[in-house]
Structure 1
Amino acid sequence: MSDDNPHGLAVVTDTTPIRSESEAARDFNWAAQRTWKVVNPNRVNAVGTNPAYQLIPSASIPPLMDPGTPQYLRAPVIGHTVWVTRQHEEERWPCGDYPTQSTVDHGMTRWIADDESLENTDVVLWYVFGIHHVTRVEDWPVMPVDTIAFWLKPFGFFDRNPALDVAPNHRD
């Protein structure tokens, strides 16, 4: 609560641009309800904001393994929720081509080593999602399915809510 927020209900968002691949690894923050937007800086809508796609994570559980384990060393991409890279056709597998047969990373950490600029270019947003399965008696002999999801929402593409011109539904 403050003079600017006397009722304690104001919500303020912070924007932190990811300008290059060295800044590419980001983690979810439940307390701040962190999301990410891929923004087109060359367009502006009627309210003065840039159109974007917003990634809203849900299953962003960090890995429960030491970074020195073989699994982590060959796929360190699992260590962060989001990565952003400049788009390259040959960069398709963030854990490398054969992650279960290697002992080192041949994917994401190599791709970002050149620290390419991410401004005003095509980018790839890599979202690492998952859960940890803590086994229960009910999981044997047939394990049920766990469901995880995320949202990728358009943000600022329209100058107003496009549903405002929908004809009313008259029921007589």
Structure 2
Amino acid sequence: MRVGPKISLASIYDHDKDKYRRVMYRGYISELFVPYQDLTEEWYFRTFLDAGEFGFGICAVPLQPSKDCPKNAVFLDGYYTTRDGTPAKTENVFCVFERYAGDIMWRHSETILPGDTVEVREDVTLVVRMVSTVANYDYIIDWEFKQTGSIKVTVSLSGILAVKASKYTHKDQTEDGEELYGTLVAENTIGTRHDHFVNFHLDLDIDGHANSFVKTHLKTKVVPNSYGIPPSSPRRSYWTVVNDVAKTESDAKIRVGSGETELTVVNPNKKTKMGNDIGYRLIPGPAVGPMLLEDDHEQIRGAFSNYNVWVTPYNNSEKWAGGLFVDQSHGDDNLAKWTLRDREIENKDIVLWYTLGFHHVPVQEDFPIMPTWSGAFELKPNNFFERNPVLKVNSLKPTNWVNCSAHK
């Protein structure tokens, strides 16, 4: 009811080991923080926590076959409990389908050998989709599972802008220095600037419960001048890798783009035959963070957006990044408060919290219906397998597609 789709017990089949190996115990959207940037009396309070205040699952809508989902999709109904305790059903709330969009899984052309040997494998993925219409916005959520073991999560925005009336019909009519808090998208209509911060609760179990969070820094090193000793290389510099295992919660707070090059959850108790820690790497989306002051009341309520990445030890009561009750909350029970305890997270059952962000400055093309705007992140195997796990995947069978032409 609150978060919509939950992905549980996500595992990947390892052909070499002939077994399923756990990647994620449970993953879901924990909260959505949408602060509008209009300080007028009618708008300043419009900062929403969509999951906790409205219910991301309750706001899910039936999907339209062959429009919201392709023709090969299978649909699932959703069930939940209404406010008076009676059961309710939303038909076709999820769709599951295989996607082949002409993407390449892997390829190589060996031009040195006689005959120019070429091998290519097409990328076919499994997608789980839900759409939640929260008031004016439509959120399209895709969980995409790749044969390589990667899990890609995409959040797409569409729907109708939240707009307000204006006396202006042209931008030239505004006075110098006047703050409109948005863009004049049509006559007498202003699309207000705002943000979307979508927080994901990712309870990863990388081949077991005990995991660690590793920050990898790429450092430039300068080769020292050793007088009298012939250099082995004329190079003067190179870059090397420095790994930093987060010991406590404070070590794991990350603003994407602040320096850490790779962020990985590893199982330090299991290694590959080559001796590497098995793990999964977080491939973040765009580096987007809040621009409100941290002591702004609304930012205190949505404080999980202060960092893109948090890591906490698993606690069954800590499910919602914005707190258990967010209606008129004061931000005293949320992810930012929990992590002040600075608990140990090394070699523990840990939860990775990732916030995907959008700064939305409306443009005229967004009005009246907004074209889809997407952001994504990915969880990718990092020394999880002994080798390329899709090396023996067969190519797709040839298909004769019907030729289409425009109707005159």
For this structure pair, what is the TM-score category when the shorter chain's length is used for normalisation?
0.7 to 0.9
| Identity across the alignment (%) | 33
Instruction: Give the match's secondary structure for 1:101.
Output: coil
Opposite residue 106 of structure 1, the aligned amino acid is D
Q: 1:91 aligns with which of 308, 312, 318?
A: 318
**Which one is further off, 85-94 or 104-113?**
104-113
Partner of 2:330: 103
Opposite residue 97 of structure 1, the aligned amino acid is L
**Distance in structure 1 (CA, Å) of the matches to 2:276 and 2:248:** 22
1:78-129 per-residue CA deviation (whole Å, 9 max, x = no partner) reads 0111000001111100111233521224111222232221111110000011
Are residues 1:142 and 2:369 paired?
yes
Q: Deviation at 1:14? A: 2.5
- Equivalent residues in 2 for 1:128-139, closer than 5 Å: 128-139=355-366
Q: 1:81 aligns with which of 305, 308, 321?
A: 308
**Which one is further off, 108-117 or 134-143?**
108-117
Partner of 2:235: 6
Opposite residue 18 of structure 1, the aligned amino acid is A
**Distance in structure 2 (CA, Å) of the matches to 1:5 and 1:163:** 39
1:63-92 per-residue CA deviation (whole Å, 9 max, x = no partner) reads 122222222111211011100000111110
CA contact (8 A) 1:51 1:156 kept: yes
Q: 1:65 aligns with which of 271, 292, 295?
A: 292
CA contact (8 A) 1:81 1:128 kept: yes
Q: Quick one: structure 1 residues 165 and 152, their matched pair in 2 at CA, closer, same or farther if it must change by over 3 Å? A: same
Q: 1:18 aligns with which of 218, 240, 246?
A: 246
**Distance in structure 2 (CA, Å) of the matches to 1:162 and 1:24:** 30
Partner of 1:118: 345
Q: Which one has a bigger Cα radius of gyration?
A: 2
CA contact (8 A) 2:322 2:331 kept: no
Opposite residue 113 of structure 1, the aligned amino acid is L
Q: Greater strand share, 1 or 2? A: 2
Q: Deviation at 1:144? A: 2.2
Instruction: Give the match's secondary structure for 1:111.
Output: helix
Opposite residue 24 of structure 1, the aligned amino acid is A
**Which one is further off, 112-121 or 75-84?**
112-121
CA contact (8 A) 1:45 1:159 kept: yes
Are residues 1:42 and 2:272 paired?
no
**Distance in structure 1 (CA, Å) of the matches to 2:342 and 2:265:** 18
**Which one is further off, 76-85 or 92-101?**
92-101
Q: Which has the higher contact order (CA 8 A, sep 6+)?
A: 1
Q: 1:29 aligns with which of 257, 281, 293?
A: 257
The runs of 5 or more residues in structure 1 that have no matched partner are none
Opposite residue 246 of structure 2, the aligned amino acid is I
CA contact (8 A) 2:257 2:287 kept: no
CA contact (8 A) 1:75 1:105 kept: no
The runs of 5 or more residues in structure 2 that have no matched partner are 1-220, 224-232, 397-408
**Distance in structure 2 (CA, Å) of the matches to 1:112 and 1:168:** 48
Q: Greater helix share, 1 or 2? A: 1
Q: How many residues align?
A: 168
Q: Quick one: structure 1 residues 154 and 33, their matched pair in 2 at CA, closer, same or farther if it must change by over 3 Å? A: same
Q: Quick one: structure 1 residues 146 and 50, their matched pair in 2 at CA, closer, same or farther if it must change by over 3 Å? A: same
1:116-160 per-residue CA deviation (whole Å, 9 max, x = no partner) reads 211111100000111100110111221222100001011111222
Opposite residue 21 of structure 1, the aligned amino acid is E
CA contact (8 A) 1:75 1:99 kept: no
Instruction: Give the match's secondary structure for 2:292.
Output: coil
